[in-house]
Amino acid sequence: MADPYYITTAISYPNGKPHIGHAYEAIAADVIARFQRMNGSDVRLVTGTDEHGLKMAQTARAAGRDTMEFATEMSNHFREMCAKLNISHDAFCRTTDKRHFEASVALWQAMEAAGDLYLDRYEGWYSVRDEAYYGDDEITEGEGDVKLSPQGTPVEWTVEESWFFRLSKYRDFLIELNETPGFIEPESRRNEVLSFLKGNDLRDLSVSRTSFDWGVPVPGSPGHVMYVWVDALTTYLTGIGFPEREGDFARFWPVDVHLIGKDITRFHTVYWPAFLKSAGLPVPKKVFSHGFLLHRGEKMSKSLGNVVDPLELAERFGVDQLRYFLMREIAFGQDGSYSADAIVTRCNAELANSFGNLAQRVLSMIYKNLDGVLSSSCPANPADDDLEKSVRSNIGSMWTSFDQLNFTAGLDNWMLGVFACNQFVDEQAPWALKKTDPERMAAVLMTLFRCVRDLAIAVRPVVPTSIERLLDQMGIGADARDFAALENGDWFLDLVASGFRISQPQGVFPRLEMPADEES
């Protein structure tokens, strides 16, 4: 049986439509999921929307909308984003779903049974925008009388009866967990979390609200709803069947990686592991906290007018092109910048001119010069063997980098394989060999055909739709497109024996043009 692999995105807060940051995270999670599936794992990818909390209720009220109706409409925008960006999720969870209420109640009752919940009075700073509590030592002065959180969001002094979670009880456990190599990445995030844990007396956490009712009701405590982060984090359990402890939950928990934005690291590396520990459940294997996307080096904001709809980008440049750019251009875990000209430049140079042109030239020459017929009887040549070994070596390095979530380095290695093939074409000049040595021309083209197939399969997690179209043209069966297929030394002989012939090839990576309304 295949090994299980469970990955989640953050559960998006849908008080507005998806932005490029949501798309970036979803694409990265999908690339990881596809990579693991191609590596033979039994994968579960869970995403969804976190629809409770004061901020959601206030946004709906300001729009004159029923909160549930508004939440459904906004959640559907995130479903649409996943569909259009080709996100291969196995479950899309809404925190307003009945089954999620059941999971949240089960987690609460487990924490209560552990003696970790108690009723008291909360007085302190609360950020509606962050749905987060902050201590006096974390608050700074803003303009006028406004107080700001560490995220720069306004905070309000809040006083209300609340259930509290004994977070302070788990301080030593949390320090040890966050010091464990591999639990939190990148390294800089671990240092931030440990600084928080070691530099403060960890206060118990307010985990219910009475000032509004848009949330999961606290069992046995009328008038209280769960703190939105208790509810939201539980989604990771809901997505694999909790509160059932058998079946998918037993198979896939603990999660292999929570993929999140760096602004919510504390919730996932402090609060969430403590809740799980209290409930007697295993903690996540890894929390990977990626960076922010900047537009032309600037943070996106409505006031600057630089907020871009990711679906508009996908429509302009192509879904696979956007996916490739985000994984190639931005070092995973760090902040990165994007712009229309950067997308066009990167995708034209590498997808269109380098790999796309390579594949198109090779298939076209086989179609025109060999009537589309493949041959396994071409005489061997050391240069051919060297190229295939080089390509396989680069793909091996790519896999290693992808397994470490280092997509930029992995695609660097992939491009080295592409460059090697293009150099081989220039050196061997099959168009000249057609006249002087047709047999050698055929050998060169067969070598390149095999290398293009290998490179196509290798990059399939990143640009799946385009690669499927290319592999269809190459006669590669739908069941022979994973990494195990690259280890099959007989695939080419089998393809030749099947009598497959290449038809007039169609390019899969067209050159992009700068939109007329974009600045250069």
- Bridge-partner residues for 121, per DSSP? 161
Distance CA 221, CA 239 (A): 26
Q: What is the DSSP letter of 270?
A: I
Residue 86: Cβ-neighbour burial (10 angstroms; 0-12, 13-18, 19+): middle
- With residue 258 as reference, give the H or E element that holds it: strand 257-261
CA 345 to chain centre: 23
Spans of the chain, pLDDT less than 70: 297-298, 300-307, 516-520
| pLDDT of res. 134 | 84
Distance CA 72, CA 463 (A): 30
Cβ-Cβ contacts under 8 Å for 33 (sequence gap 6 or more): 5, 7, 43, 45, 88, 89
| pLDDT of res. 520 | 40
- Residue whose C-alpha is closest to residue 318's, from 351, 285, 367, 272: 351
Six token digits for residue 509: 């990576």
Q: Are 368 and 428 in contact (CB under 8 A)?
A: no
Distance CA 336, CA 341 (A): 15
| pLDDT of res. 192 | 92
Cβ-Cβ contacts under 8 Å for 270 (sequence gap 6 or more): 167, 174, 193, 196, 197
Q: Are 381 and 351 in contact (CB under 8 A)?
A: no
Residue boundaries of the structural domains of the chain: 4-291, 339-497
pLDDT digits (tens, 9 = 90+) for 205-226: 999 999 889 999 999 999 999 9
Question: 291: number of CA atoms within 13 Å, CB side?
Answer: 18
Distance CA 317, CA 312 (A): 9
For 422-486, give the DSSP string.
Answer: HHHHHHH-HHHHHHH-HHHHHHHHHHHHHHHHHHHHHHTTTSHHHHHHHHHHTT--TTS-SHHHH
Distance CA 362, CA 370 (A): 11
Question: 354: number of CA atoms within 13 Å, CB side?
Answer: 20
Question: 429: number of CA atoms within 13 Å, CB side?
Answer: 6
**Residue 499 Cα distances to 174, 238, 503, angstroms:** 61, 49, 13
Six token digits for residue 256: 């292999």
| pLDDT of res. 305 | 57
H helices of 63-216, in order, are 67-84, 98-113, 171-179, 187-199
Six token digits for residue 64: 């004159």
- Domain 339-497 belongs to what topology? Isoleucyl-tRNA Synthetase; Domain 1 (1.10.730)
Between 382-403 and 407-428, two packed helices, what is the crossing angle to 10 degrees? 170
**CATH number, domain 4-291:** 3.40.50.620
**Residue 303 Cα distances to 306, 311, 451, angstroms:** 8, 21, 49
Residue 373: Cβ-neighbour burial (10 angstroms; 0-12, 13-18, 19+): middle
Q: Is 22 helix (H, G, I), strand (E, B) or coil?
A: helix
Cβ-Cβ contacts under 8 Å for 277 (sequence gap 6 or more): 170, 173, 283
Q: Are 188 and 143 in contact (CB under 8 A)?
A: no
**Number of Cβ within a 10 Å radius of residue 384:** 21
Cβ-Cβ contacts under 8 Å for 370 (sequence gap 6 or more): 442, 445
For 154-193, give the DSSP string.
Answer: EEEEEEEEEEEE-GGGGHHHHHHHHHSTTSEESHHHHHHH
| pLDDT of res. 150 | 86
- Residue whose C-alpha is closest to residue 363's, from 468, 426, 451: 451
**Residue 480 Cα distances to 366, 457, 487, angstroms:** 22, 9, 10
Question: 478: number of CA atoms within 13 Å, CB side?
Answer: 1
Q: Are 332 and 28 in contact (CB under 8 A)?
A: yes
